[in-house]
Structure 1
Amino acid sequence: MIDKVHNFNKTLITGGTGYIGSRLINFYIKNNHKFVVLTTSIDIKEKNYFYIKDLNDVPLEAFEGVDRVVHLAGISNDTNKTDYETKKKYTDANVKYVENILNLSIKKQIRSFIFISSTKADDSNLKNFSDKKNLLSIYASTKSEAEKIIKNISKNEPIRVHILRPSIVYGPDAKGNLSLFVSLLKKGLKLKFYFLKNQKSLVHVDDVIRAINFLSINGLDGETYNLSGNNYELNQISEIISKIYNKRFITIRIPKFVLEFVSLISFSKKGFFYRLKRDEIHSSEKIKKLGFNFSKSLYNIDQSDFSKNDHPLSKLKN
């Protein structure tokens, strides 16, 4: 269950066509909360969606009646590339766009600005790892840079800003590496990494939505909050989810040498297989101390939590 909307008249959302954004909009529709979405998709004609040609050319009229901004837009997929074009692409989307939206929010006297970052933006909370600095990918470093800019710009302004860092997000229609495990399980295939004991912090998308709403009211101005849910080993994740589907599985055992070889030829300490082997454990104590409680874990979900998410556009057209 997601908490109800409180204390805000209208919310502007960037990145509303993404995974978390579409879930947030479904929540607003269900609770009859007014919202507007900035989108670069020219195919969307709904009145709640405000089409913009350029991420850094947002008209002020999009902010009319808005008193809260939730910034989700940006490039969310990680990459090992380090060339100039890739860096520029990520910087434009993950840094410059954030700065522009925040400045417009200040100009329009918006009450609350929530930036959805990532636990990848700061490896200081990772355990048992020495070369943390080298693990920051372009995605992580641009998120980290955006956080610093937000705090610097807003420190002498009346707008209240909160930075939320979700860990690995799961739920209906989730993307990313976890979806690979789920898709294989749906086909009756279960991966086993007997040599891996590392852990990952997972958080349900509905708890992310609840945290956005919670911080709007209870968050301390200018503070950053990790949102990490519970910690699980990879094999534990596979076992728990497989029980949800209650079917026979073919277990595929992944030998250690296979993973080591693939990691070696990837030539990167930031690649998928390298990240797969390490812990990604983060603490949510800071937001818990404010009174936030997680409503979901892998132990209290069902198949609907891995089904296809209803897109908000279909609801708006009905």
Structure 2
Amino acid sequence: MVDVDRVKAAVAAVAGGRVSVRVDGARAGVVLDATGLAPEERDALEVRVRAAAAAVPGVAEVRVAVTAERTQRKLVAVASGKGGVGKSTIAANLAIALARNGRRVGLVDADIYGPSQPRLMRAEGVRPEARDKQLLPVSTPYGVPMLSMGQLVEPGRALAWRGPMAAGALGQLVDADWGAADTLVLDLPPGTGDVQLTMVQKHKPAGAVIVSTPQDLALIDAARAIDLFNTAGVPVIGIVENMAGYACPHCGEVSDPFGRGGAEAEAARLGVPFLGRVPLSIGIREASDAGEPPAAGADDRVFAPIAERIRAWLASR
């Protein structure tokens, strides 16, 4: 006859208070609470629990049921009114900086037509797996799991999709098995089209970060993006001014090819917070192309302050 207390002690030794045990003859049934665990942690713990129960004398069969409470995640949309303003670079670095600041972050490359996060996060060529009809995010060297349409199609292949197809693909990425992540950073495509509308209507982000360069044309489009989120009832966390000033690596002289302060002035005019500036830097460009986001470095002084403002905003909600 199986010693029930011994089974309980064996599984508790590997899973603590996450389990309850029931023994019926030679069969041990274990209910494992996996709330807050990432998919790989959950799978590993289930294997250890199963092995611990099976090692008890007399146990011929082990059944493990895994349960988990749904994590309440906050979605942060990183958006821009137009392309070419560095939105994806900002999104990748903010995701890493938020993770270093204590958030459990996942990154969704929702720029369906121009996915670039696999390169930025050094995850090119890694295809996600699926379990129970849910995608499993892929790991990155920076502690931020991610999913991108760029991981699901052949490299270099154009996605000639109409709006509903693109919106459906976004839903699969957002509704993936994100495990313990409490924050999802969404790198949205530029503009105010079908993907953005589906995202704000179906997934309702906690807030949006708008990326713009200082030039007037970019600011006009940034104002349109802000209007979309305001109309949808999604709070705008603030504006980030990218490509704000260029320091010559040879002489050190600082110039402003795109102007300076335009995004801060526009933020004041629209009544939204100004989150900070990111300079036009060859170092940031080279690091991004190499899949080494600057926010992962110990000396990051550009993205960390912006991420802290976003973290504080999320905490206040």
The TM-score, its normalising length taken from structure 2, stands at 0.33
The TM-score, its normalising length taken from structure 1, stands at 0.33
Please say which structure displays the higher CA radius of gyration.
2
